[in-house]
Structure 1
Amino acid sequence: MIIHPLITRTEDLAALCERLAKSDFISVDTEFMRENTYWPELCLVQIANTEEAAAIDPMAQGIDLSPMLDLLTDNEDVLKVFHAGGQDVEIIYNVTGRTPHPIFDTQIAMMAVSQSEQIGYSNLVESWLGIAVDKGARFTDWSRRPLTERQIEYAIGDVTHLSKIFPKILKRLVKTGRGQWLDQEMEKLADPENYRNDPSQAWKRIKASGRNPAMLGRLKAIAEWREHEAQSKNLPRGRIARDETLADIASHPPKQQADLAKVRGLSQGWKDNEIGKRLMATIERAQPMPDDELPPRVPRGAPLGKEGALVADLLKLLLKIRAREIDVAARLLSRTDELEMLAAGVRKNLAVLQGWRYEVFGRDALDLVEGKLAFAVENGKLKMTHVDDEIAVPLEERAQARE
């Protein structure tokens, strides 16, 4: 494989992307810094196919990233392969307003060919290629220039390894016939809605108890205010104010700016500085949240009841058995909250009762809830067995019969 020197010129990048555009797939990775900024700072982009690999320096003076960004977001003929690519896709979306497509994530794909829930990149490389990845450069400062040879070698290794692993995973998927299982998951990863930053919805990320419209109205207003303050200063939102501080202010709003000095998490300076003024103005303008925006009511106590909770536990056990039997990650088949809803009697809009999930797991899960499936021990192993409706007798009736 040809490894190019660090690309810092537009003409070199354009030539590379022209060649890569003829590939069936390219592997992609990014290095970025976000500890001290609101927006992730893109520091390096690595791209490879089966023949060549390169690292591109987006911080190089005068470089135009358009050839690369067009390849990633506009070329539908080239599959873009990532590993745990959510943050990489987010960064590309922030720069372009578009997401890479079509897309393939090897971490998600591993869930369909093994019981790995969230396999890390190092473990992926070791399991498929038998190579131990040098992690020494992982947490270096990628924004500092010049980059060292070790940093560049480490970064390019991410995509060269990935370009070798992807065909192997694809071959396994074809062999097992599970490729179509991942279509929906990959489309979700590429959905721009996952990365669109709407300040008016920022309040939903903050934990706050209760459904009081006045309190939630304040929370929504000050959460949106914090987003705009953080964006304008390009600082992490937590540097403006922490989530718990906003929740406290929403629940116990200060009557005047001087009271901000008494709020846990705010400094004394807030009692008379400009940012404190803007916060107080936001609180004063806040309106109660309309009924149609209020979060849904959460049932008090155990939402399933004792019997329902037992059924949910049985469903989780069935999920573990099925995942082990067919060697897939349990989370790919169903989420815990879906099993609890199924145990509670919900039948509509559950992914586990639709498509391939229903065929592989959902049908048996439904049979278990309806008493048509039972656990059995065979040769020391726990298995499932279908129960004849005519002989399916509740445990209570069996106990009475024995008496």
Structure 2
Amino acid sequence: MKIHPLITDTDTLADLCERLAKHEFVCVDTEFMRENTYWPLLCLIQIGNEHEAAAIDPLADGIDLAPLWELLTDNEDILKVFHAGGQDVEIVYNFTGKTPFPIFDTQIAMMAISQSEQIGYANLVETWLGKTIDKGARFTDWSRRPLTDRQIEYAIGDVTYLARIFPQILDRLIKTGRGAWLDAEMDSLADPENYRSDPGSAWKRIRQAGRNPQVLGRLKALAAWREGEAQHKDLPRGRIMRDETLADIASHPPKKQADLAKVRGLSQAWKENDIGKRLMKVLADAEPLPKEEMPPKIKRGAPLGKEGALVADLLKLLLKIRSREIDIASRLLTRSSEMEALAAGVRDLPVLEGWRYEVFGKDALQLVEGRTAFAVKGGKLHMTHIDDMAGDLAEAQAATKE
């Protein structure tokens, strides 16, 4: 594989993207800083395939990243491969308003062929290539220039190793026939809605007990205001105000600006500064949350009670057994909340649809309905059908009589 020097000009970048566009897939990774800003600061982009790889300096004077964005967002003939790529995809979206498509994430793919829930990149490389990654450059300041040779070598390794691992994972998925299991997860990763910054929806990310329209209306208004302040100042939203403080103000709004000094999480300066004035105006203008925007009531069955809780525990045990039997991450099959809902009588659940039903949901439903049980065979715990157990018992009794 050919490793190029750090790319710092548009012409060299365009030539690289033109060559990469002739192949079936391209691996992508980014290095960025976001500790002190609202928008992630893109510091380095690594890209390559099985033939060549390079790091691109987006902070270089005069460089135009348009050829790269075109390759990633407009060319649907090339599969874009990431590992734990959510934040990388977000960065592409922030620059272009589009997401890479089609997309493949090796962390998600590992869930379908192993019991790894969120395997890290270093462990992925160790598992597939038997190599240990030097993590020394991982937490360096990627915004500082010049970058060291060690930093660049470390960064490019993220795509050179991935270009070797991806075909092996793909081959395993094809052999096991589990590729279709990942379609929804990959589509979700590439869905632009996951990355669109909508101040009007920011309140939905904040935990707030109750369904009081007045409180939720203030929460929505405050969250949108904070989002605007954070974007304008390019600061993390938590630097403006923490979620807990915002929720507390929505529930117990101060009557006058001077009362802001008494709010936990705000400094004394809020009682007289301009941002405090803007906050009070937002509270004054806030309207109750409209009925059509009210969050849906959580769909639950009957209260679990002690017996239902035991059934939920049995379902979780079955999940562990099935995950081990077929070597799949349990998280890809279902979540604990679904198991509790199933035990409580809810049937409109993802685990009872499609491939999840065939692989796990069918047996889970039979367990709830009393048609299956657990048994120990060969020193291992298995699930067995009641009819099968009756047949085995009859055979054993017949053998004893003989």
Question: TM-score higher than 0.5 here?
Answer: yes
Counterpart CA distance in 1 for 2:302 and 2:41 is 44
**Does 2:276 align with 1:276?**
yes
Residue 269 (structure 1) shift? 1.2
Q: Secondary structure at the match of 1:18?
A: helix
**Does 2:238 align with 1:238?**
yes
Counterpart CA distance in 2 for 1:295 and 1:6 is 49
Q: Secondary structure at the match of 2:27?
A: strand
Name 1:225's counterpart in structure 2.
225
Residue 196 (structure 1) shift? 1.1
Is the 8 Å Cα contact of residues 31 and 44 (structure 1) preserved in structure 2?
A: yes
Q: 1:301 to 1:183 in 2, by over 3 A?
A: closer
Q: Secondary structure at the match of 2:28?
A: strand
Name 1:401's counterpart in structure 2.
none
Counterpart CA distance in 1 for 2:292 and 2:218 is 16
More off after superposition, 134-143 vs 258-267: 258-267
Is the 8 Å Cα contact of residues 372 and 389 (structure 1) preserved in structure 2?
A: no
Q: Secondary structure at the match of 2:44?
A: strand
Name 2:184's counterpart in structure 1.
184
Question: What do you get for the CA RMSD once the two structures are aligned?
Answer: 1.8
Residue 379 (structure 1) shift? 2.0
Residue 259 (structure 1) shift? 1.1
Residue 290 (structure 1) shift? 2.1
Name 2:359's counterpart in structure 1.
360
Is the 8 Å Cα contact of residues 99 and 190 (structure 2) preserved in structure 1?
A: yes
In the alignment, residue 58 of structure 2 is paired with which amino acid? P
Q: 1:298 to 1:328 in 2, by over 3 A?
A: closer
Q: 1:301 to 1:266 in 2, by over 3 A?
A: farther
In the alignment, residue 306 of structure 1 is paired with which amino acid? K
Counterpart CA distance in 2 for 1:226 and 1:301 is 37
Q: Secondary structure at the match of 1:388?
A: helix
Counterpart CA distance in 2 for 1:274 and 1:302 is 50
Name 2:138's counterpart in structure 1.
138
Counterpart CA distance in 2 for 1:16 and 1:300 is 54
Name 1:167's counterpart in structure 2.
167
Counterpart CA distance in 1 for 2:26 and 2:92 is 15
Counterpart CA distance in 2 for 1:357 and 1:215 is 39
Is the 8 Å Cα contact of residues 21 and 78 (structure 1) preserved in structure 2?
A: yes
TM-score w.r.t. length of structure 2: 0.94
In the alignment, residue 229 of structure 1 is paired with which amino acid? E
Counterpart CA distance in 1 for 2:314 and 2:115 is 20
Residue 266 (structure 1) shift? 1.1
Q: Deviations over 1:43-76 (max 9, x none)?
A: 1100011010000111111111011001001111
**Does 2:65 align with 1:65?**
yes
Residue 181 (structure 1) shift? 1.1
Name 2:377's counterpart in structure 1.
378
Describe how 1:194-343 pairs up with structure 2 within 5 A.
194-297=194-297, 303-343=303-343
Q: Deviations over 1:101-141 (max 9, x none)?
A: 11000001111111111000000001111111010111111
Residue 40 (structure 1) shift? 0.6
TM-score w.r.t. length of structure 1: 0.94
Is the 8 Å Cα contact of residues 312 and 340 (structure 2) preserved in structure 1?
A: yes
In the alignment, residue 158 of structure 1 is paired with which amino acid? D
Q: Secondary structure at the match of 1:134?
A: coil
In the alignment, residue 56 of structure 1 is paired with which amino acid? I
Counterpart CA distance in 1 for 2:133 and 2:244 is 39
Is the 8 Å Cα contact of residues 301 and 346 (structure 2) preserved in structure 1?
A: no
Name 2:49's counterpart in structure 1.
49
In the alignment, residue 194 of structure 1 is paired with which amino acid? N
**Does 2:12 align with 1:12?**
yes
In the alignment, residue 356 of structure 2 is paired with which amino acid? R
Name 1:387's counterpart in structure 2.
386
Name 2:76's counterpart in structure 1.
76
Is the 8 Å Cα contact of residues 117 and 329 (structure 1) preserved in structure 2?
A: yes
Structure 2 gap ranges (5+): 392-402
Counterpart CA distance in 2 for 1:88 and 1:371 is 46
In the alignment, residue 29 of structure 1 is paired with which amino acid? D
Structure 1 gap ranges (5+): 393-403
More off after superposition, 134-143 vs 371-380: 371-380
Counterpart CA distance in 2 for 1:183 and 1:299 is 26
Q: Secondary structure at the match of 2:135?
A: coil
Counterpart CA distance in 2 for 1:389 and 1:172 is 33
Residue 206 (structure 1) shift? 1.4
Q: Secondary structure at the match of 1:91?
A: helix
Superposed structure 1 runs of 4+ greater than 6 Å apart: 299-302, 389-392
Counterpart CA distance in 1 for 2:41 and 2:334 is 35
Name 1:90's counterpart in structure 2.
90
Q: Secondary structure at the match of 1:137?
A: coil
Residue 299 (structure 1) shift? 8.8
Residue 96 (structure 1) shift? 0.6
Residue 249 (structure 1) shift? 0.8
Residue 292 (structure 1) shift? 2.8
Q: 1:300 to 1:106 in 2, by over 3 A?
A: closer
Name 2:108's counterpart in structure 1.
108
Q: Deviations over 1:8-65 (max 9, x none)?
A: 1000000000000011111100000000000111111000110100001111111110
Q: Secondary structure at the match of 2:316?
A: helix
Name 2:147's counterpart in structure 1.
147
Q: Secondary structure at the match of 2:159?
A: helix
In the alignment, residue 369 of structure 1 is paired with which amino acid? V
Q: 1:97 to 1:268 in 2, by over 3 A?
A: same
Q: Secondary structure at the match of 1:317?
A: helix
Q: Secondary structure at the match of 2:376?
A: strand
More off after superposition, 38-47 vs 304-313: 304-313
